[in-house]
Structure 1
Amino acid sequence: MKYDVIIVGGSYSGMAAALQLLRARRSVLIIDGGKRRNRSASHSHGFLGSDGVDPAELARVARAQLEAYPTLTWQDDDVGRASGTMDDFQVTCGDTIYTARRLLLAIGVSDRLPAIPGVAERWGKSIFHCPYCHGYELHRGRVGVIATGPMSIHQAQLLPEWGDTTFFLNGTFELDQAAEDELIRRGVTIETTRIRQIDGSADVVLSDGRRMSFAGLFTAPHNEPSTPIAAQLGCEIVETVMGTQIGTGEARETTVPGVFACGDAARMPHSVSLAVGDGAWAGAQLHRSLVWPAS
């Protein structure tokens, strides 16, 4: 069977795209490896109508709603390879090859976290990237920001909205005078001593032995698409201030005709709300490409 669309990635953006296509009565295959980016988080915030809901429950309900549509096929699997051209794409999972007229890459990103002992174990639990998603629940307690590069300055400037903020440069770069002045104006404490480890819930242990306790920590990981599928297909991969992402146009089509991309792998900043909106737009635009293919 040749599907109208294969969606690689069944998290929030992929499911939002699928919903538009299924409601247009198109045949859709979702292939998903089950590794949601926010799988470590116990609550998702900032998504209208579902604020504070367990993200696993959001995903479960969404999948159940999609499975009510008869033109959906869902395959729990990892994609090994993708190839082909407009109207004739092939996606390989193990020994099985699926074909489709269009591809949508909703593959999410991999987070490259600071190489500090204790960070990875607390990611999504007491160390976060998005203050709009997690800042309110810290109840204006002390907040730490772990720098990953110059863009972390903006994160440190923003975080005082949620609590007294300490900015840990951790040897990643040197502040210029203008940035230092602005941080001080915002009430941010600047700490230049390197971090030895993260301990307890959100305790920062410095190389000189000092321990500083926080309600929560924030950092901006470097991102890249979670699989090499886009590159395999020949899609443009673009540099961003936070890493790399799949290049797309306004209609969410990549540089390869017939291949679309949405969600965290194709846009920034990142949140559940933005991923859902981006997926809905991508699904509608992809559907239009099936109705009115480019000549």
Structure 2
Amino acid sequence: MTKMNNTLVDVVIVGGGAAGLNAAQMLGRSRRSVLVVDGGEPRNAPADAVHGFLSRDGISPAELYRIGRAEAESYGGRFLNGQVVGVTGSKGRFSVALEDGSMVRGRRLLIATGLVDELPDIPGLRERWGKDVLHCPYCHGWEVRDQAIGILATGPLAAHQALLFRQWSANVTLFLNDALQPTDVELHQLAARGITVVDGRVDSLRVERDRLTGVALIGGSVVAADAVVTAPRFMARTAAFAELGLKAVQHPTGMGEHLDTDDDGATGVPGVWAAGNVTDLRAQVLSSAAAGEWAGVGINSDLMAEELAEAVAAHKGSLTA
């Protein structure tokens, strides 16, 4: 673990997931001094493997981050384990406060803190999250193919979610859970695809020998299920940046809250960028990594423009001295 003093680094990156690590690598390759502060709580920690990542399919999240950290370190990147509790300052000199009372400083700031999945309050669901309680067919659909899949409705997109998972299994059940009333069109679509629709509120999940076996409804009936799919509310981790004037806003899709940025990852606060799930709620690991790379390019370009302006001013001054 890196020990820091009052040294001002070029970039402080908050978050050591895919976005933060790829940004650290790109900035290190650009010969920038980089410090990554990471709390060690990656969103995908419960998952067994990462999928949809070219050349890394099936790798565990922990192993992916270990490799990424080593790559960033090979270009001079430094890492500090800790929770960021607040950030003050402005472009050129940000002060990042950690939970243990220490402080680090950077000329630029990249927020790569990811998001928190807010799940329905149903007994047994949180404990199975990332194992056999899922939300993304492209991340986990292959692993539950041809199994009994239950779709737990949390809002109006549940019918679409059921139709989507039908691509992976012919045994799909949609639990309305008092959260969805399908339209006539949706009911015809569900019936045409052989998807069972179950009315009533879900009470809990049934688990035997650490394996999901069914969905229990209020009233006592149980429907067999090998996997359950639900749509969490995605909430960006942004509390530590409130003093900078940064606040999460509603995502256009209604999926949750995110930090708004431009196409290059720059926020509305000069000198502050954001990348990964904290700004793109739908980003998977590969696209988060790509966003981190592009944010790194943007930060380096901004620093270069500042340094160039200073050099030109100094040069003009020397000519008139």
Question: What TM-score do you get using the length of structure 2 for normalisation?
Answer: 0.87
Q: Distance in 2 between matches of 1:212 and 1:293?
A: 62
Residue 18 (structure 1) shift: 1.0
CA gap 1:287/1:187 in 2 versus in 1, 3 angstroms: farther
**SS of corresponding position for 1:121:** helix
The size of the alignment, in residue pairs, is 294
User: Which 4+ runs in 1 deviate beyond 6 A?
Assistant: none
Q: Is the 8 A contact 1:235 1:247 kept in 2?
A: no
Q: What residue in structure 2 maps to residue 31 of structure 1?
A: 37
Match of 2:188 among 181, 187, 192: 181
Give the stretch that moved more between structures: 4-13 or 272-281.
272-281
Residue 12 (structure 1) shift: 1.1
Greater C-alpha radius of gyration: 2
Match of 1:206 among 217, 220, 223: 217
Q: Distance in 1 between matches of 2:221 and 2:42?
A: 36
Does residue 1:237 correspond to 2:211, yes or no?
no
Amino acid at match of 1:83: T
Give the stretch that moved more between structures: 109-118 or 44-53.
44-53
Unaligned runs of at least 5 residues, structure 1:
none
- 1:107-139 CA-to-partner distances (Å, cap 9, x unmatched) read 011111011000000000111111111110113
Q: Distance in 1 between matches of 2:15 and 2:167?
A: 34
- 1:138-161 CA-to-partner distances (Å, cap 9, x unmatched) read 132121111121133332221101
Q: What residue in structure 2 maps to residue 84 of structure 1?
A: 89
Unaligned runs of at least 5 residues, structure 2:
1-6, 310-321
Q: What residue in structure 1 maps to residue 272 of structure 2?
A: 259
- 1:269-293 CA-to-partner distances (Å, cap 9, x unmatched) read 1321121121112111221111225
Q: Is the 8 A contact 1:109 1:226 kept in 2?
A: yes
Q: What residue in structure 1 maps to residue 167 of structure 2?
A: 161
Does residue 1:129 correspond to 2:140, yes or no?
no
Q: Distance in 1 between matches of 2:149 and 2:45?
A: 23
Q: What residue in structure 2 maps to residue 219 of structure 1?
A: 230
Question: What TM-score do you get using the length of structure 1 for normalisation?
Answer: 0.94
- 1:32-77 CA-to-partner distances (Å, cap 9, x unmatched) read 010011111112211111111111111111111211222x221000
CA gap 1:180/1:22 in 2 versus in 1, 3 angstroms: same
Amino acid at match of 1:279: G
Superposition CA RMSD, Å: 1.7
Q: What residue in structure 1 maps to residue 312 of structure 2?
A: none
Identity percentage over the alignment?
A: 38
- 1:184-240 CA-to-partner distances (Å, cap 9, x unmatched) read 334322211211111122321111322222231111100112240233321242212
Q: Distance in 2 between matches of 1:153 and 1:280?
A: 36
- 1:79-118 CA-to-partner distances (Å, cap 9, x unmatched) read 0101111111110013222111111000011111011000
Match of 2:122 among 101, 116, 121: 116
Q: Is the 8 A contact 2:37 2:82 kept in 1?
A: yes
Q: Distance in 2 between matches of 1:288 and 1:154?
A: 42
Give the stretch that moved more between structures: 276-285 or 115-124.
276-285
CA gap 1:184/1:84 in 2 versus in 1, 3 angstroms: farther
Residue 30 (structure 1) shift: 0.3
Q: Distance in 1 between matches of 2:247 and 2:84?
A: 19
CA gap 1:73/1:126 in 2 versus in 1, 3 angstroms: same
Q: Is the 8 A contact 2:234 2:281 kept in 1?
A: no
Q: Distance in 2 between matches of 1:184 and 1:104?
A: 48
Match of 2:69 among 63, 68, 74: 63
